[in-house]
Amino acid sequence: MLKNIIEKIKESGLTGRSGSGFPVWQKWQAVKNPSTSSGQTPTDKKYIVCNGSEGEPMVFKDGYILYHYPQEVIYGIKLALKTIDNSDAYIYLNKDYYSRFYQTLKNLIGNLPITIFEKPNGYIAGEETTLLNVIEGKIAEPRIKPPYPTEVGLWGKPTLVNNVETFYWVGKIANDEYHGQRFYSVEGDVKNKDVVELLENDTIKQILQKTDNIPPFSYFAQVGGGACGEIFLPEELERPIKGTGSIIVFNRETTNVLDLMKSWADFYVLQNCDKCTPCREGLFRIKELLYQNNLDKKTLNDIFDVLQKTAFCPLGRLAAVPFKSAIAKLL
């Protein structure tokens, strides 16, 4: 089983559950056998990072997994340690998860070469290259890519970064228990707030139906994250989720859309690292306009375009998504 785990991951079609959708087997293979162009050899020290930073508002599926299935997550990391020679691992947890799950995980780790690391405050510290800087004791800001962490990661060595849910499913794949499932968190103006395990090709509407969460009132949904998620109307829900497995439902009659957008702006202005001008200035300007109740759509859309085209890292590029879709569909 262990000998063929990368092949089994490839055959399963598993993609990263952090929202990137990148084929998991390719990351594992790249770290196990780094390309000669990277200057690394298969015998070099390597690292594995389980990313449990989960920092978007109202998104909590990784916390659910750590609470209910910590042993399965550790099993997935253990498989990576056995597959990738000469490797050590880190479990990178936000402050809440660190305080709640440290002792349980520590007991499960035993003598395995796994260190539990507490993420500092800041959403950006969960971005995969930023967390490498943080573990190394550097400033919490993203690195330029390429090179990618699989080539030049933690302390310059090949590094596998997968999130909590991804490691959970790797363990299931090893035991032939994965059949295209994923976890979804359902939050907001619904009667059954929960995390559920359903098929990854289920549509947004099917997920709400299966969890008995179709509202009896006019609503809209933010899908794929509590800050970066896109806004969808009820007639647009016949599609699977791309990105983070998160659905947040809002009552259209009682939700002040401007206030909702202000909350996103507050989040992004506080959580960006100020490294690049588009994020630093663009997000500040969005917040300024919203708090002036100035919905100058041309100016805002110009800022959104600049963010999406020129921001240094995914935080800035994705930050425009909720605003852009809310303005187009709700205002």
**Confidence band for 34, pLDDT divided at 50, 70 and 90:** confident
Q: 145: number of CA atoms within 13 Å, CB side?
A: 16
Q: How far is CA 296 from CA 26, 288, 299, 331, in A?
A: 44, 12, 6, 12
Tens-digit pLDDT profile for residues 174-209? 999 999 999 999 999 999 999 999 999 999 999 999
**Stated pTM of the model:** 0.94
Mean pLDDT along residues 208-228: 96
Instruction: Read off the tokens for 12.
Output: 């399963």
Residue 314 exposed, middle or buried by CB count within 10 Å (0-12, 13-18, 19+): middle
Tens-digit pLDDT profile for residues 274-299? 888 888 999 999 999 999 998 999 99
Residue 194 and residue 181: Cα distance in Å, rounded? 16
Q: How high is the pLDDT of residue 2?
A: 46
Q: How high is the pLDDT of residue 275?
A: 85
Q: If we measure between CA atoms, which residue out of 327, 13, 40, 6 comes closest to residue 199?
A: 13
Domains of the chain: 2-174 (3.40.50.11540), 181-251 (3.10.20.600), 257-330 (1.20.1440.230)
Q: In the predicted model, is pLDDT for residue 41 greater than 60?
A: yes
* Helix, strand, or coil (residue 113): coil
